[in-house]
Amino acid sequence: MAFQRLQSEIRREQIAEAALRLVGDQGMKGLSLAALARRVGIVPSAIYRHFKGKEELLDAILELFQKKVLANVQAVKAETRNPLEQMRRLLMRHVELIRENEALPRIIFSEDVHHRSSARRSKLLGIIKSLLIEVESMLREGQRAGLVRKDLDPTTLALVFLGLFQPAAVLWHLSHGEFDVTRHARRAWEVFRRGVEESRVEKG
């Protein structure tokens, strides 16, 4: 039973990934279980074994987004113990997450998430809050290590950190990729780092 449950979870995630690609190609209006079945190459009834309808599918996409965000956090923590370097890497991973999943902004800012489902809106809020908590924790650790200025409020800085990317992601999305969000993130990070880093700390 446990194996079957695991297989079902893996299949649900695969379908959610395919749904992201479908929305990236056709927009939210193109998202339907029938279209998704064609994309995956299975009969619609196979989709219905995992999802009762579009609403459950959207929930699964948000769960997938949450999993990817938290995986990025855990990855940077495993790669380096330097809190500022963790944040830099997290920023660039977040950029790549959106670039590789063009549909995410469409879904996150869609009517289906923001207005038609309070539970889904709360889920998205929870994801953002969890990310803010992780970033704030990195900043506090940086302050304890003497890497980050102690006169700055970590809670405020965490929100400023997210602002390095979120508006740029909107520009990237609206310009259909013409705006170079990766270059912006690199430059924005340097501005942020200079502002928060203790003056005695040398770069690198």
Please provide the DSSP assignment of 34-78 as one string: HHHHHHHTS-HHHHHTT-SSHHHHHHHHHHHHHHHHHHHHHHHHH
**Is 12 a member of any domain?**
no
**Is 30 a member of any domain?**
no
- CATH number of the domain residue 164 falls in: 1.10.357.10
Whole-prediction pTM: 0.86
Q: pLDDT 10s digit of each residue in the chain, 204 long?
A: 554 554 667 788 888 899 888 888 888 888 888 888 888 888 888 888 888 888 888 888 899 999 999 999 999 999 999 999 999 999 999 999 999 888 888 888 788 777 667 888 899 999 999 999 999 999 999 999 999 999 999 999 999 999 999 899 889 988 988 999 999 999 999 999 999 998 864 444
Q: How many domains does the chain have?
A: 1
**Is 87 a member of any domain?**
yes
**Is 81 a member of any domain?**
yes
148 forms beta bridges with 197
Q: Name the residue range of residue 136's domain.
A: 55-196
Between the two ends of the chain, the Cα-to-Cα distance in Å is 50
DSSP 147: S
